[in-house]
Amino acid sequence: MIFNYLASFAVVLVLASCSGPQQLFENSFPAADNQKILQQYFRPKEPVIQPGDKITLSIWGHEELSIGSVNSVFASNEATGKWIVVDNDGEVNLPQIGRVTVAGFDVKEINYVLEEKYSALLKDPIINVKVLNHYVTVLGEVNQPGKYKLDNEQVSLIQILGEAQGLSPYARGEQVKVVRPVNGKSIELIVDLTDLVSIPEYNIILQPDDLVYIAPNRKKGSDEKLRRATTVTGIITGIAVVASIFLK
């Protein structure tokens, strides 16, 4: 009786080991025209400030008016520094000038807007707004997956993969996916890093909330199955030893 239970358990393990790992972001339908998607949704543009964003305000020479100034002892850092949140109406309440709409502007535009407003109080103000919570997520077959800060800079796909310590040995270089939220939908672009001719065109500038996913190759699936089969073989061997003891 004990042997039958152990044998049944071994069969379940074998069947489980035969199923490959489930892949993320794998569509069962054909991809749309990649070139059209590139032109329509992935052209370079400045990210705009949104409600919920955390921003700092630096006014050169006027630390009393600054919030998380890069020029003061207060670091402009999301974890430890001073910052202000853009409210649901897209506004922030700033020293001396009160409520100002900042949502919908990119960083360069809002610098100009605030310099004009503060000109009523200051002579030739120099203003630097920084967004602290613009990130890109990198998943899949890279050596260091995770969330990476854009930090007001233009960061390309190749740069972010470099920050993620490059592709793993199991990466499908021809199947790098960039998923971008657009008007409540997810738009997917496929980038083939093995095609040296197309890389300059497809080395896109990333936007906040982009997700970069590198699919695994077949070798990883084979290695996973071999590893599981080896583990199951060891378990079955152990079961056989235990069963032989009980059956003596």
CA 132 to chain centroid, in Å, comes to 15
| pLDDT at position 82 | 81
pLDDT tens digits for range 63-109: 888 887 655 544 555 555 688 999 999 999 999 999 999 999 999 99
Does domain 1-47+134-237 fall under CATH 3.30.479.10? My reply is no
What's the whole-number mean pLDDT along residues 130-150? Answer: 94
What's the whole-number mean pLDDT along residues 46-71? Answer: 87
E-only strand ranges, the chain? 54-59, 84-85, 91-94, 98-101, 127-131, 135-140, 146-149, 171-182, 185-191, 211-216
What's the whole-number mean pLDDT along residues 27-41? Answer: 77
pTM: 0.71
What topology is assigned to 54-131 in CATH? wza like fold (3.30.1950)
**177 or 8, greater pLDDT:** 177
Q: What average pLDDT is seen over the chain?
A: 81
| Distance, first Cα to last Cα, the chain | 14
Cα–Cα distance for residue pair 169/38, rounded to 1 Å: 27
Cα–Cα distance for residue pair 84/66, rounded to 1 Å: 11
Run of H or E including 3: helix 2-18
Cα–Cα distance for residue pair 60/52, rounded to 1 Å: 25
Cα–Cα distance for residue pair 136/147, rounded to 1 Å: 6
What residue ranges do the domains of the chain occupy? 1-47+134-237, 54-131
Band of residue 151 on the pLDDT scale cut at 50, 70, 90: confident
Cα–Cα distance for residue pair 131/46, rounded to 1 Å: 12
| pLDDT at position 63 | 87
